[in-house]
Structure 1
Amino acid sequence: MPTATVTSKGQITIPAAVRRALGLRTGDRVEFVALPDGHVEIVPATRSVTSLKGFFGPQPPQVVSLEEMDRAIADAAGQAEA
């Protein structure tokens, strides 16, 4: 498994094998995603938003309208003031 060393500025060079596996090219951006188990995943930031579907688990069991969201926010704000 490729490794990298952190510099005094907190920088690393992504090993060539990892860049190839991720399809990264000069100038590409990457995201660091903290996983619940404490690991961190590095992913290309060039993915479309639709490719992230299911990334954070299953969809909520119900769909709510904007009005329901606004009402819930207003209710929570009212409770915070009390």
Structure 2
Amino acid sequence: MPTATLTSKGQVTIPKKIRDKLGLKPGDKLNFEVEDNRTISLKKKKSIDEAFGMLKRENQEALTIEEMNEGVAEYFKKKYGVK
């Protein structure tokens, strides 16, 4: 199991084996979660770019932001009479 040492400034270098396994690169944002006051989970924060196409279904073309905004506006107009 890879280990790391906490510096006096509270910094830790993530071992290369772990960085490689998680696909971490310089500049990546990381989320830390403390579990049961003893365990720390480290997760790579996903960027909005990674979410692109996430909700796409087979045989369905991706919508543009403008098309999504029009769809939302149409929904609110029908449901609430909002223009």
Report the TM-score, using the length of structure 2 for normalisation. 0.51
Identity %: 41
Please list every run of 5 or more consecutive structure 2 residues that lacks an aligned counterpart in the other structure. Answer: 52-83
Larger radius of gyration: 2
RCO comparison, higher one (Cα < 8 Å, 6+):
1
Aligned-pair RMSD on alpha carbons? Answer: 2.1
The 3 A distance-change label for structure 1 pair 27 and 38 is same
CA distance in 2, matches of 1:9, 1:37: 21
Whether 1:16 aligns to 2:12 is no
Q: Which residue of 2 aligns with 1:31?
A: 31
Q: How many residues end up aligned between the 2 structures?
A: 49
Runs of 4+ in structure 1 off by over 4 angstroms are none
CA distance in 1, matches of 2:47, 2:21: 14
CA distance in 2, matches of 1:31, 1:13: 15
The 3 A distance-change label for structure 1 pair 47 and 35 is farther
